[in-house]
Amino acid sequence: MRVLSGIQPTGRFHWGNYFGAIRQYIDLQHAHDGLYFIANLHALTTIREPELLRKLSRDAALDLLALGLDPDKATLFLQSDVPEVSQLCWILMTGTPLGLLERCHAYKEKKAKGLSADAGLFTYPVLMAADILAYDANWVPVGQDQVQHIEVCRDIATSFNHHFGEVFVLPEARVLDSAAKVPGIDGEKMSKSYDNTISMFEDPKAIRKKIMRIQTDSRPMESPKDPETDHLYQLFSLFAPPEKVAEMAVLYRRGGFGYGEIKKALADAAEQYFKPSQDRRAELETRPDTVTDILVAGAQRARSKAAEVLARVESACGIRAPK
């Protein structure tokens, strides 16, 4: 199966990105043909500083490689390095009903908040459809909040196929592990939007300081607590081996502990968990040409497939003479 997903470089990746998506990208690369791109074209809807966008895009590549994405098993590239996708996007827009885009939640939510929504946000789902359809992707790993965009992609592809023949592969959403909802330092879902994130690659001292700031309830130390409803325990469960998690659950149910004790255990477990990735990232930073070569090679592979699909599309709709 061909698996495709993109991730926006709108800020440094954090624990929520890793456990919610990136870890599963890495798992899927071993058994499937994986294409993963850094969605810098999508990021233009929010980032207006060119140097910042370049830096965040580079950081995204370094982070993904350090976390275990293997360029020998998966294709990693910059979205903007495959111009065929932008060409395909225009063709798809010519047949996409306005009503379909007006119903998309990202656009509706921004309008409901009274915020200005530009054409980039409005047509975001069409570019996302082009991202997917350009590579004949079978599976698209997404969070539950992105399933609607896969349905829009299927609608657009189905309409094109109806008019011009069976040109596009219809992708399926592969919903990412909903259990990996990672709480932030305020107890809400970890998100750059809430400014409550912890990055894998921050200075270890800064990470510990953030962990010590995680909000907890005011129950007395001696009170037993339900581990399943506690976000410190949820975070600890992501990092620690099963036997340590079981021991922690017993401690919660027994009571008689301080949250400072749990926070220290969490900091120790997180530091140990990400230490190999931090070491790999530091080593990659000493070889910038290697990262550039990986992205260039990935873009070449991606363009080869996208060019094949674009030629098929252009021939079907009359832009290019059929072979």
Q: How far apart are CA 305 and CA 276, in angstroms?
A: 33
pLDDT of residue 180: 58
194 found inside a domain = no
Of residues 322 and 252, more confidently modeled: 252
Reduced to 3 states (helix: H, G, I; strand: E, B; else coil), residue 74 is: strand
The string over 106-133, giving b where at least 16 C-beta atoms fall within 10 Å of a residue's C-beta and e elsewhere, is bbeeeeeeeeebeeebbbbbbbbbbbbb
**152 shares a domain with 23:** yes
pLDDT of residue 232: 93
Token representation of residue 292: 């550039």
**146 shares a domain with 257:** no
**How much is the average pLDDT of 137-155?**
91
Provide, rounded to the nearest whole percent, the portion of the chain with pLDDT above 70.
98
Taken in order 91, 92, 96, 102, the sign of the CA dihedral is negative
**172 shares a domain with 37:** yes
**149 shares a domain with 275:** no
pLDDT of residue 105: 82
**211 shares a domain with 138:** no
Taken in order 300, 304, 305, 309, the sign of the CA dihedral is positive
**313 shares a domain with 253:** no
pLDDT category, 217, cuts 50, 70, 90? confident
Q: How far apart are CA 180 and CA 30, in angstroms?
A: 21
Average pLDDT, the chain: 93
Containing structural domain, residue 261? 202-282
**How much is the average pLDDT of 295-320?**
97
186 found inside a domain = no
What pTM value is reported for the model? 0.92
pLDDT of residue 213: 94
**125 shares a domain with 270:** no
**10 shares a domain with 118:** yes
Domain CATH code at residue 99:
3.40.50.620
Going from the C-alpha of 94 to that of each of 122, 128, 164, 181, the distances in angstroms are: 14, 15, 13, 37
Tens of pLDDT, residues 56-75: 999 999 999 999 999 999 99
Secondary element (H or E) of residue 91: helix 83-93
Token representation of residue 38: 């850094």
**How much is the average pLDDT of 13-41?**
93
Tens of pLDDT, residues 99-145: 999 888 877 887 777 767 789 989 999 999 999 999 999 999 987 77
Provide, rounded to the nearest whole percent, the portion of the chain with pLDDT above 90.
79
Q: How far apart are CA 122 and CA 106, in angstroms?
A: 8
- Residue 179 above 60 pLDDT? no
Domain CATH code at residue 224:
1.10.240.10
pLDDT of residue 194: 86
Q: Could you list the active site residues?
A: 110, 189, 192
Q: How far apart are CA 136 and CA 167, in angstroms?
A: 10
Q: Helix, strand, coil shares of the chain as percentages rounded to 5?
A: 60, 10, 30
